[in-house]
Structure 1
Amino acid sequence: MESVQPRDELAARLMETPIATPFDYDEDGKQDGFLRLYHSRETNGYGYVPIPVISVKNGKGPTAFLVGGNHGNEYEGIVALMNLARDLEQASVQGRVIVLPSLNFPAVMAGTRSSPLDGSNLNRCFPGDAMGSPTHVIAHYVSSVLLPLADLVIDLHAGGRSSQFIPCALVREGRNEHETAKSARLADWFGAPISFVSKGKGGGGSLTLAGECARQAIPCLTAELGGGETLSQQGLKLAMDGVLRILSQCGILASTVPPTMTTTRWVKKGPDTRLHAHVAGIFEPRIELGEYVSPGRVAGLIHLPDFPMRKPEEVRFESSGYVLSRHVPALVGRGDELCTFVTDVIR
């Protein structure tokens, strides 16, 4: 017979968090400190993992929850939100801004996509588990403590180790047109070169932070700001300017003059807008980010080190669009994504 968990254990998974918060989010003022994620490990049996957190509150108004470091090796958002957190003052805020510039702090300090504590990808762990591994506990804290406070969420990403992106914004399709429109408005304000609406069926779907926001009907914007484990100046500037524009447009920074808004170009992904490697080898790209491609166009060659006399394998596009991202580094395995492309949409 299948075992049934006691009711109080189930309640703990759903309601209580083992993470300690250093201050009261409801207090006015600028506060900073470290969330304490208690975790027993080989080198320290009774220690905690510190996760930096900043809260700036001034009276009544909307709450913005700003996230960097959801993946630890995506740096534009981390640096942008640290810069913003230092500059924010209580007097300039109407409402509340909660900033976690390095949400997956263990991964940030290790320079990895996933956590070195448990090997888990935080952005595939939502809504999390209060009794789970450290990464699931972080996701649970966000889902159960922070998101109920939030009127909007901004989650800043990049391509990490494996991809380079044109700086872009994406929003999840809501349960209805009204919810989708509220998130799309964030993308218009953010002002990335291109934006698109995701149906949430790939890349982690409902297990992502954006998926959890959609479940809780909270407008959420996700940005991809660069990649290759570098720090793009273009992506960093977009992150800083775009966040300030959103905070200004929603009234949280009403007294601040936001950077000039640019018009985003709305695009869409089709059912077959990803190219994957069908063999392992060294990928020689023949495409540039933003380039328009048509069916039959060569995306690149895959050279075969184990068969040096064999001609490289060609990878070709089967439909048309603009190149949104491409793989880095050169070494690829069978099944690796080589590039993503998008097409224009009329809004």
Structure 2
Amino acid sequence: MDEQIRVGITGVGGLGTDLGRGFEHVEGATVAAVADVDAGNRAAAAEALGVPVADRYESHEAMLAGADLDAVVVATPHTLHYEQVVAAMERGLHVLCEKPLCTDVGHARDLVERDDASERVLMVGYQRHLSPVYATARERVEAGDGPNYVTAEVTQDWIEAQRDAWRGDPDRSGGGQLYDTGSHLVDAVLWVTGLTPVAVNARMVFDDDAERVDKQAALNVEFAEGAVASLAVSGDTPRTREHLHVWDDEGAVYVEGEGWSRRELSVLDADGTVTVPGTDDWEWESKPAAFVECIREGREPPATARDALAVTAVTEAAYESARTGDTVDVDSSP
């Protein structure tokens, strides 16, 4: 494919516009249309991205029907993802969908099946797959005999900002902090370790009486390979910090950082010796760049529908466990 890749973006109130700006730095790609139910968001994004008035749409469906597109970006509230991704795939378009891919395990399985039957790219916006720090950690884990113990945590000042926004509305978000930033943490654990989750026991602090919007979550995850993991997600803390520690018989690999950009890598040998590779010049590839590269080269995206299915399966089991007090089985098979 040598011609310009024309991209439409659905949901431009925040992240969608940021992704659109990312395409400005990708050779051979252009944002050709935008869609958003909010007229102000739509106009502001279109002006920022140079989209003509004729290619600004009030709905995803109208954009798919009216615009000449090769690919779409879905950056809408989580519970809208499934139907919007299906609609785009049925028109033969490549799709970059922000995380989580969907909030229902059955829907996630359906998208895996559709993806398997399609020659188009379906990429999920789990950007840690594009981080050389996380990728190097994954390579270190793959070179060993398999993890036996994992801890991971992310903290963020989330609930106060999101309580009255769509992320605080479970009908649109699918849940709370675990389905938002926590989704990245669950994905990082599963992708870096390559482990198969089989059961989850979770406890949560909910922000609502209906127990749908969590602001704190603690998950103990069991894996088919015999390993265990402890995950903590907080949306009610003053600083953004993240860590992932993966232990095996040969030592451990640590990924740690503060804020949303840099992450540091440490490798521990079996005798406790710590090595810290220099990572100052390690750059993350952008999601738009990776997406376009996959389209042009016809290759599998960094984060796939199968990756997303496993995350949704763990997340849904965690919510069930937190509400019932039971350990809940996880089936992440397609």
TM normalised by structure 2 equals: 0.31
Larger radius of gyration: 1
Q: Which has the higher contact order (CA 8 A, sep 6+)?
A: 2
Query: Which TM-score applies when normalising by structure 1?
Result: 0.30
